[in-house]
Amino acid sequence: MRTKGRKFLPLLLLSFIMTAACMPTVALAKSNEDVTAEITAEVSKDKTSAEVTVHLQNTGNEPVSKVRIQGVLPEGLSLEEGDTLTKEEETLAPGSETALQYTVKAAKTQDNGGSQDSGDREESNQNGGDKNPSPNPDQNDNGGNPSKGGDKTATPSSEDADAVDTGDSANPVIFIVVCVAAAGVILIVCIRKKKGKGLLSLLLVAALVGPYVIGVLPVKAADSRQGGLQVAADVALGDKSYTLTADISYSLPETVAPSGAVLTRAQWIDELLVAVNAPETEVVYDNETLPFTDIDSHAKKNQILLAYANQLLPEMGTEFRPDAPADREFAAYTAVKALGFQPVKDIACADAAAITYKQEVETAVAMELFQLTDEAFRPAEELTQAEADAALSKVREIANVETPEENTGEVVYDEDAIIIPEDAEYTMDGTTITFTSGGDMITEGSIFILPDQTPYKAVTVQKTDGAVVVETAEPDIQETLDEITASGTATADMSGFIPAEGVTFTEAAPAMAKAARVNVVDVEGSLAAPGKVNFKIHKKIGKGELYGNVAINLPKIKYKADVDLGWGGFNIKDVYLKFPLTIEATGGYEVKKDGGSYVPDDYIPNGGLLELGKLPIAGIPGVTIYAQIGIKYEISGKIEVVCNIDGETGVQVLNNRLRKVDSLEADVDFKALAGSAKIGPSLSGLLEVCKRWDLIDFGVSAGPEASGELLIRNTELMCIDANVFLYGELSALDEGVIGDWLDIGYTWEFWKKENSPLKANWHFENFSRVDHCTYEEETGKIVGRVADAADRNTSIAGATISAYQGDSTTAAGSTQAGQDGGFEMSLPAGEYKIKVEAAGYQSFECDVTVEKDKENYTEVLLMIDEQYEGVTGSARGRITNAVTGEGIPGATLTLRRGWNKTSGDVVATVETNEYGDYRVEMASGNYTATIERDGYVTVTKNIVVFPMDLGMQSAAMNPNGEDLEAADLRVVLTWGETPSDLDSHLLGPTADGSDYFHIYYGNKRHNEDSVRIADLDVDDITSYGPETTSLYQKNESGTYSFYVHDYSNGGNSDSTAMSQSGAIVEVYLDGQLYKAYPVPTGKTGVNWHVFDYDAATNTITDVNQFTEDITYQPNANARMAAIPVPMDETK
């Protein structure tokens, strides 16, 4: 930081400016604003010739015609044979260029150094090389050269000078008077030394405006539309110097009419969206909700809808007319809207009455997107490609400003401000500051700056006992600062995050933080990566609870403050605050009753802002940025939602004009809905200067909004048809001083129901989204639980489970995991691919089968933390013989990504060793292992490859060799590490049907007449399994039941250990794998009734329920009470 002192050099310079300003001036037509010209000469090595190039480019916004470049040959030079001094172009479009090239040679000289010989003179004259080629007959006789100083820059030609009536009436007396007045003011400033900068500004205004006021420079513009330039350059050939010149003339159209290609409305919108880097988002509208009736089959349909969704289009009824020519007003309006400007005043021009959107056009002209011609805008003229290119170039310049990576610039204090030295000694008590050293310069009314860069204003100053006691007040920014020139890219250091009240925040690594979480506070947060923070939310609101996970990535903050606070007020040249960000949010709102979720009869709306915290981010000294994070909600009933937002947002004031910065993309989905909801993340930004003043501020919130009526069918199916769309709101200048200066604060609804990029009608059943109403259809349920792979006891609330059929990219159904990680989703019977997603975790896919009228359980869906994406991990286990329990050497495991995948790309293969053990190392993730070995039935096993050891992930194979005794029914039980002992129980009738048998650890074999009926082939009591039960001789009319009992927790009927064990029961009929049953999740109990087997029909009936006891019903079709089965609980 620095103060700006008063110097004499600016005053001296000002005197020269005034001198030049008061001299007689020649008026020109707009010739040198339309084209740029340059002349260059490349001299040969022997210095006898030079290759001359006159380069001309149209740098204006209009085409020029009848272009003529006329080279002038100085006396003493000749033109190369075959070359010409003239180049003509019928038309030169904006941005186009042309050139005249010729070679000149030094003329032959006589021995006495005389003039050029007659032959060369004749050749020179034939090629226009006379002594005075200038079209001005009054020009002095110097070979037609206006300058001999070697200047290569373009200067007005004499033709144009003579063509303009300047009306010059400069009076040297006036010049003398003004100079004397300036000298007097300078003297006063030197003596008084007060507010020199303000007086300097006044002098500068006087110097520039005064001549016009007093009539020194009355200028008459040329009536014609002719333009011209003259360029010159020095060249040395032989022992002489020559000045090469060229005259350039051209014509401008009297009125600007379309020239060249004319853009259609759709083409302009397409090119405009590219210029502002609009996200290539697919806009989703149902056909009946399309805003225009004539775009459905158009190639630019999505671009038009994107422009509509972002409110770039003016009012135009039901037809867009995509192939009609775009006019200048349409282009100006849409360009201003695309850049996010908030217009503030009407255009003042000759044809303002013909302009509908006067404020937008005024902004377009002020920001130099479009130009006025003869004080007219010409709103209805068709937009040419040349005009479009010029406008889009300026659009890109505004939209694509590069922010420096480093923090640069400074805060400049007013020249009268007192800088307290670093070694000053002082104490503070409220508004009173007592200096024991370093405060002697402070006087009443002065502004002083403490070493911590905080400014104060001295209200009273008392000096007692060597101390200076100052009573202070907050100063005004304009009396404290002279200018601010700060910009850069600030890094968001999340270690400085300040949690809001009720938010518990840890700096633990993600995996540790998850393991340590308990649901005892409103919100818990943890650091994830640089610039990233995760939140887990449990907030009581009304009768229900707002819950979910929010991950916010805010790695960099872009800022700039270029503000002049000098004499005459403020000038906001360029101030902006931009947040590039990514937000991933999953969660919802529900009311709990009797342990379950329900929708209350009265939907009580709840709304507000749940603050999560704020983050201070340091810029240059004296500049601090604050980012405020929260969740905005308006909800009633029950909802579950996923919301992912990516892009950049913020606000800018450019040349005192406000514009929003918005390139956000949103991907949202309601997984459950019964009522209405508007919910999404909220982010606010603030740029603070000197710990005193909020310079610029903004706030943004975006997310999904939906509402619908609940209908309960007589089948207890709850249906709701909902209107779903995105909302997006950005407010700016509500708090900062810029808002006060400009007297403006604004809120944009950049997404709403009418223009949302997502607008659809979705159907929900039993709170879950489905692609169509399944009422009276054959449906089933997918039921499961989502947990952390590092600890399957850690549930992942808010995880999203979406079901897809075939290659469809539209979900057939979708839901979210509840607080216990559990979920269920109703779907029509069929094969599905489910995708499992959650904030902070790697997503994966799992194939499932939905059977009608059944609860189809999945394994516990284990998710891996996203920090391990791409990190090498491992998995190990043992493949055993289901009958003997011995390891199977030489078994091949073929691995594919995802779970339950039996086809698709193979990512790895591995074989078991001599003990039947396998180990695989590869990228962390979820995989399916297809296990094969001659003599065994092929099986699959879902495994997790993880950087840390997850224990044994084992499987059992059923032998099918001819030398083995075949079983009518074989059941194989496997599970995880805990509980250590799960037991198989098979109950069935004896051969004559008079009694039943019970195969378990207490009775491992049942024989009748020396014939083996059934047995427990393997009993495992040390985790994993397998436990294998086989039925060799069935009673053809009997019914058999299979149970699993949790021996480890047998005395605790409230235990959830078996439900979380990852147990799987595989059933083999006639030697072939019939079905696998994952244990139901989210259950309590120690007895799991898996299935019943009807020998007469050779069919399996799913039961899949936890029961209080193990019972046996001799005949499923008989009206007989189930028989309680006694067990010996000792081993």
Give the tens place of pLDDT for each residue, 911-934: 999 999 999 999 999 999 999 999
Element (H, E) at 21: helix 8-22
With a CB cutoff of 8 Å and minimum separation 6, the contacts of 1053 are 1084, 1085, 1086, 1108
* Predicted pLDDT of residue 303: 93
Angle CA 376–381–384, to nearest 5: 115
Q: Which of 188-192, 592-596, 1025-1029 has the highest mean pLDDT?
A: 1025-1029
Burial class (CB in 10 A: 0-12, 13-18, 19+), 969: buried
Confidence tier at 684 by pLDDT (50, 70, 90): confident
What was the pLDDT predicted at 206?
Answer: 47
> Are 1079 and 1062 in contact, with CB atoms under 8 Å apart?
yes
Confidence of residue 861 (pLDDT cuts 50, 70, 90): very high
Percentage of the chain lying above the pLDDT 90 cut: 34
Range from 320-329, 412-421, 547-556 carrying the lowest mean pLDDT? 547-556
pLDDT of residue 266: 95
| CA–CA gap between residue 170 and residue 943 (Å, rounded) | 94
Specify the pLDDT at position 506.
57
pLDDT of residue 1099: 87
Give the Cβ contact number of residue 516 at 10 Å. 12
List, in sequence order, the alpha helices (H) in 103-222. Answer: 118-126, 158-163, 172-192, 196-214
pLDDT of 1058 above 60: yes
Nearest to 780 by CA among 738, 831, 743: 831
Does 811 have pLDDT greater than 90? no
Q: How far is CA 660 from the centre of its chain?
A: 15
Angle made by CA atoms 243, 244, 250, in degrees to the nearest 5: 135
The CB density around residue 932, as the number of other CB atoms within 10 Å, is 13
Among residues 222, 170, 315, the alpha carbon closest in space to that of 31 is found at 222
Q: What is the pLDDT of residues 932-945, one digit of tens each?
A: 999 999 999 999 99
Alpha helices in 620-750 (DSSP H): 737-742
What's the pLDDT score for residue 115? 39
Q: How confident is the model at residue 1116 (pLDDT cuts 50, 70, 90)?
A: very low
Say what the pLDDT of residue 655 is: 86
Q: For residues 74-100, give the mean pLDDT.
A: 88
State residue 333's pLDDT score: 97
SS3 state of residue 361: helix
Spatial contact of 722 and 764, defined as CB atoms under 8 Å apart = yes
pLDDT of residue 716: 52
Beta strands in 45-117 (DSSP E): 49-58, 64-72, 77-79, 86-92, 97-106
Residue-by-residue DSSP string for 491-519: E--GGG-EEPTTEEEE---HHHHHHH--T
Check residue 714 and give its pLDDT. Answer: 45
Q: Read off the pLDDT of residues 747-784 as tens digits, 9 standing for 90 and up.
A: 877 777 766 767 666 766 665 666 666 655 667 889 89
For residue range 867-917, what is the model confidence (pLDDT) as tens digits? 999 999 999 999 999 888 899 999 999 999 999 999 999 999 999 999 999
Pairing of strands 1111-1112, 925-932: unpaired
What distance in Å separates the CA atoms of residue 903 and residue 411, rounded to the nearest whole number? 65
The tokens of 237 are what? Answer: 């050939």
What DSSP letter does each residue of 368-419 carry, written as one string? TSS--BTTB--TTSBPBHHHHHHHHHHHHHHHTPPPPSS-EEEEEEPTT-EE
- pLDDT score recorded for residue 984: 94
Which pLDDT does position 931 carry in this prediction?
A: 97
Helix H or strand E segment including 362: helix 358-366
Answer whether 269's CB lies under 8 Å from 320's CB: no
Average pLDDT score over the chain: 78
The count of other CB atoms within 10 Å of the CB of residue 318 is 9
What is the predicted pLDDT for the residue at 26? 31
Query: Between the ranges 504-508, 710-714, 722-726, 758-762, where is the mean pLDDT highest?
Result: 722-726
Average of per-residue pLDDT across 1047-1064:
90
Is the C-alpha dihedral spanning 1100, 1103, 1109, 1111 positive or negative?
Answer: negative
> Whose structure tokens read 């006694």?
1126
Asked if pLDDT for residue 1060 goes beyond 80, the answer is yes
| pLDDT per position as a tens digit, 62-76 | 677 889 999 998 988
pLDDT at 162 over 50: no
**What is residue 768's predicted lDDT score, i.e. its pLDDT?**
64
Q: What is the predicted pLDDT for the residue at 420?
A: 95
Radius of gyration (C-alpha) of the chain in whole angstroms: 42
- The H or E element containing residue 272 is helix 265-275
pLDDT class for 718, splitting at 50, 70, 90?
low
Q: What is the pLDDT of residues 569-603, one digit of tens each?
A: 788 889 888 888 888 888 777 765 544 444 444 44
Sign of the alpha-carbon torsion through 945, 947, 950, 954? positive
Q: For residue 137, what pLDDT band results from cuts at 50, 70 and 90?
A: very low
Asked if residue 442 has pLDDT above 80, the reply is yes
How large is the average pLDDT for residues 478-496?
85
Give the range with max mean pLDDT: 182-196, 432-446, 720-734: 432-446
On the question of pLDDT at 739 being above 60, the answer is yes
* 565-569, 573-577, 686-690: range with lowest mean pLDDT: 565-569
Determine the pLDDT at residue 911: 97
C-alpha angle 177/183/189, rounded to 5°? Answer: 140
Contact 461, 469 (CB under 8 A): yes
Rounded to whole angstroms, the Cα distance separating 688 from 696 reads 8
C-alpha angle 420-423-426 in degrees, rounded to nearest 5: 70
Check pLDDT > 70 for residue 129.
no
Among 939, 953, 1025, which residue's Cα sits nearest to residue 984?
1025
Distance CA 873, CA 404 (A): 40
Residue 169 pLDDT > 60? no
Q: Are 682 and 629 in contact (CB under 8 A)?
A: yes
The phi and psi torsions of 237 (rounded to 5 degrees) equal -125, 135
> What pLDDT is stored for residue 527 in this prediction?
55
User: 365 pLDDT band (50/70/90 cuts)?
Assistant: very high
Query: 606-656 pLDDT, tens per residue?
Result: 677 778 888 888 888 888 888 888 888 777 666 777 778 888 888 888 888
**Helix or strand holding residue 269 (H, E):** helix 265-275
Q: Extract the tokens encoding 13.
A: 């310079």
Strand ranges inside 901-1048, DSSP E:
908-911, 917-923, 925-932, 939-945, 955-957, 969-974, 982-989, 996-999, 1005-1008, 1011-1018, 1027-1031, 1039-1046
CA 663 to CA 647: how far, in whole Å? 5
Give the residue with greater pLDDT, 1100 vs 1122. 1100
Of 662, 665, 730, give the one whose Cα is nearest residue 697: 730
Round to the nearest angstrom and report the end-to-end CA distance of the chain.
Answer: 83
Sort strands 571-593 and 556-564 into parallel, antiparallel or unpaired: antiparallel
Q: Is 302 helix (H, G, I), strand (E, B) or coil?
A: helix
